[in-house]
Structure 1
Amino acid sequence: MEVCMKIEKIKRDVFSEINLDEFNRQQKITRIYVRKDEKYVFEERRGVMDWSIDKKREVALDLVDSNYISYLALEEDRIVGFMSLVKELVSERMILDLIQVDKNFRGQGIGRILWEKAVEEARINGARELYISACPSEETINFYRAMGADVTDNPIISIANDEPDDLQLVYSIV
């Protein structure tokens, strides 16, 4: 399926908490990365990650929060992906809060386009690194590694403590 889409900054005056209600965030997980003996290895872990309607609405409200820079990937009027960055830098790092691509539109380059927009925004805002706290699923980590991010030995402690199972990654901008 060829996607004819556009990327646009979220317009806070027209985006509301119900705009993600139809978004299919579902992700099938078969393996995750876990830390063993100072390195990350795969572990079998089967399941499906998804968001409830309440979680989708919470995320939608966060996307329009003035503390974030957020973009949508749209096919006609349908949201097929989105990305959000925390505006305030932490030690010259811009935090990538999330990138999500609708399950039905994955594998078509939308995630890469949103990633490139995140890197561009981080550069414009003076960041030296993009910081990512990522779900440890194989698919998710492989995406970030394909984009050039790698596990950091210098995590943002508060984020690492809030999400102890996540992998903490960085991408060098300069």
Structure 2
Amino acid sequence: MITYQTMHKDQAHKLLEIDRSEYIDLIYEIRNGKLLEIHSGHECPTWTKEMIEEIQERFLFELDNGGMVVGALDEDRLIGFGVLAHKIRGRDLNQLQVDLMYVTRNYRRQGIGTRIINLLREEAIRRGAKFLYISSTETRSAVSFYKSNGSKLTNEIDEELYRKEPKDIHMLIEL
């Protein structure tokens, strides 16, 4: 049975339980305000030691600064998580970012990510946000997931997030 819970700092080690690997058949680029498909055809491995350290750092940073993390567990094993960042964004200061969002490989396409994003959405509304800001990896699976959960491309690209990940696809989900 899968359960969902708010995660805490002492659970950062559990992020190692996520298998982020996937076969990437295509990626997207934004050109003239539209998504352009680019065929890829490669396997993306799970996290390296350096990557998991960065993910854990971001997880802890957000929790230390008022962000929130939702985890999905199958018994005691972490199978998915999403991080709602603490920083208010947007021209009108009405956006909260989904900073990290992963579901382990063997549990994808079962509604787990949608349940996590909905819990993050509820928390963002409680905090007064009008939008979730998404800076998504450019893979078809990630972009399709966010689109299926109501996201749309945004013209108001957050410069800080763009500088961090210039290939990301920037979207908003209206709350």
TM > 0.5 fold call: yes
Moved more, 27-36 or 91-100: 27-36
Instruction: State how far apart, in whole Å, the 2-side matches of 1:79 and 1:30 are.
Output: 26
**More helix by percentage:** 2
Instruction: State how far apart, in whole Å, the 2-side matches of 1:151 and 1:123 are.
Output: 20
1:1-174 matches, within 5 Å, as 4-12=1-9, 14-16=10-12, 18-49=13-44, 50-65=46-61, 66-67=64-65, 68-90=67-89, 91-173=93-175
Tell me by how many angstroms 1:37 deviates. 4.0
Instruction: State how far apart, in whole Å, the 2-side matches of 1:152 and 1:124 are.
Output: 23
Tell me by how many angstroms 1:41 deviates. 1.7
| Cα pair 1:64 1:70 within 8 Å, conserved | no
Q: CA 1:61 to 1:102, structure 2 compared with 1: closer, same or farther past 3 Å?
A: same
Q: CA 1:36 to 1:58, structure 2 compared with 1: closer, same or farther past 3 Å?
A: closer
SS of match in other structure, 2:11: coil
Q: Percent identity among equivalent residues?
A: 26
Runs of at least 4 residues of structure 1 off by over 3 A? none
Moved more, 79-88 or 49-58: 49-58
SS of match in other structure, 2:87: coil
Tell me by how many angstroms 1:61 deviates. 3.6
- Structure 1: give runs of 5+ residues left out of the alignment: none
SS of match in other structure, 2:23: strand
Deviations 1:109-160 (A, max 9, x none): 1000001011001101111110000011111111100000011011111111
Tell me by how many angstroms 1:19 deviates. 1.9
Which one-letter code corresponds to 2:131 in the other structure? E
Quote the RMSD (CA, aligned, Å): 1.5
Instruction: State how far apart, in whole Å, the 2-side matches of 1:74 and 1:22 are.
Output: 10
| Cα pair 2:8 2:69 within 8 Å, conserved | no
Deviations 1:18-58 (A, max 9, x none): 32223211121111111234421211112233311332233
Deviations 1:62-104 (A, max 9, x none): 3233122111101100000001011121121001101100001
SS of match in other structure, 1:88: strand
| Cα pair 1:82 1:114 within 8 Å, conserved | yes
